[in-house]
Amino acid sequence: MAKPSSMPAGIKPKNKLRRQAAYLAIRKARESAKRDERFKRKREEAKAPELREERLARNIPATIDSKRTWDEQIGDEEDALGLAVDVERLAKKRKLEQEAAERAENGEEQDGEEGTLAKLKRRDQEDAEASEDEEEEEHDSMLDSDSEDEGGFGSESDSEAERSKSKRKPEPPKRAASPAASTATNLELSPEFLKQKFPALFDPPAEPKILVTTSINSTLHHEAQIVASFLPNSTYIRRSAHAHAHKYSVREIAQFATNRGYSSLVILMEDQKKPAGLDVVTLPSGPHFHFTITNWVEGKKLPGHGNPTGHIPELILNNFKTPLGMLTAYLFKSLWPATPQIEGRTVITLHNQRDYIFFRQHRYIFREKRATEKSIVGTDGKIVKGVEDIKAGLQELGPRFTLKLRRIDRGIQFKSGQEWQWKSKMEKQRTRFNM
């Protein structure tokens, strides 16, 4: 019996090489079809820009950040640090409620002839707009009737168009041009109960003085010196290197530092000869913040890195929204002086994203735009005037690492866990964040 010359569709070849070739041909054809469709869409959107706006409005990616859930406001201030409440949104809501109450009071006072006349004028205006809309609809219906009388083919095409329109999905709402995305933390919106509970953080000294040390018998002397290098006016002291030396506790070190005028104590923790934690104590009596450290990378291991110059940096705090986030932002603010040295052009950024705090240190420079670079475009799609030929260059200095807040102790504690103000939990809801 003769073998069939052509293989039916949907059956895999028995030969491995032919099977691989068939798979590559199918994959190549699929990618080619996708590419052709993409270029076709690009040509259509170049002719009609509104198609691109509709596509972007329809294809909004659903990320965990966009699905973030917030807690309802609760009046108990004892548990406020554990609540995920947007402080900025809450302040705007209170402001709107206050303005609405003031308007209501003014409206009750101004009731009378003016209020009645205003209502009558508004009603007449709405009637006039309704009559204009009716006239426009009549003109449209007359045009439709003329087109139907001209020929049956036009009526059939119109009916088909109406059917296709009815089958289509409703058009998505057009996205308005959003303002420039800013995640900068507004520290002026901090709740009052935080200022009452933690006065040392909300009234720091103008020139902080920091003592940097490590855990007992640590080997991270080089890493601790790096930490002391980006903290202005800081001193690193080794901790009980000798086996028979007195092992000072954190309480004793804090008392020692307080007597000598230090405002903060920073302790670098070690695990398997790598930085694993960072404890920050606000002197003289706390609070005591416990962070874990991951993804530690020294500056010299970064490609194209620069060397720090020792200038006091500018501080950028991003995306701290809840009461706990505000408290953490004020902790970092207390570690750097309020008056940076602008001539150093150094910036330290602490960016909060899903309760992970990313530390970066850069040096910036303003330079002329190259011919191959694009100009700065605003939210309205137009080139921003005044900065057409200016670009900002960045050079990372290092180190880079990631912090995660684990616990806040009321006083100066160390691995006791008895008197804690806030403690992280294993969150089962992925869309709920603490900061």
d(CA 318, CA 184) in angstroms, rounded, equals 5
In this prediction, residue 127 carries a pLDDT of 64
In this prediction, residue 422 carries a pLDDT of 86
Per-residue pLDDT tens digits for 227-237: 999 999 999 99
In this structure, of 97-111, 119-133, 181-195, 366-380, the range with the lowest mean pLDDT score is 119-133
Say yes or no: 201 and 339 in one domain: yes
Give the domain CATH number at 408: 3.40.50.10480
Instruction: Choose the final residue of a domain: 117, 139, 167.
Output: 167
Which parts of 130-245 are beta strand (E)? 210-214, 234-236
The count of C-alpha atoms lying within 13 angstroms of the C-alpha of 432, restricted to the half-sphere facing its C-beta, is 13
Rounded to 5°, angle at Cα 248 from 201 and 265: 20
Mean pLDDT score, 360-366: 94
Per the structure, the count of domains in the chain is 3
In this prediction, residue 147 carries a pLDDT of 40
In this structure, of 29-33, 59-63, 159-163, the range with the lowest mean pLDDT score is 159-163
Q: Identify the residue with better confidence: 268 or 217.
A: 268
CA dihedral of residues 113, 114, 118, 119 (deg, nearest 10) = -40
Question: Whole-prediction pTM value?
Answer: 0.73
Domain that holds residue 35: 16-47
Residue 118's pLDDT band, with cuts at 50, 70 and 90, is: low
In a domain, 74, yes or no: no
Instruction: Choose the final residue of a domain: 99, 132, 167.
Output: 167
In this structure, of 62-76, 170-184, 367-381, the range with the lowest mean pLDDT score is 170-184
d(CA 95, CA 91) in angstroms, rounded, equals 6
Per-residue pLDDT tens digits for 368-422: 888 888 887 777 777 777 777 888 889 999 899 999 999 999 888 765 556 778 8
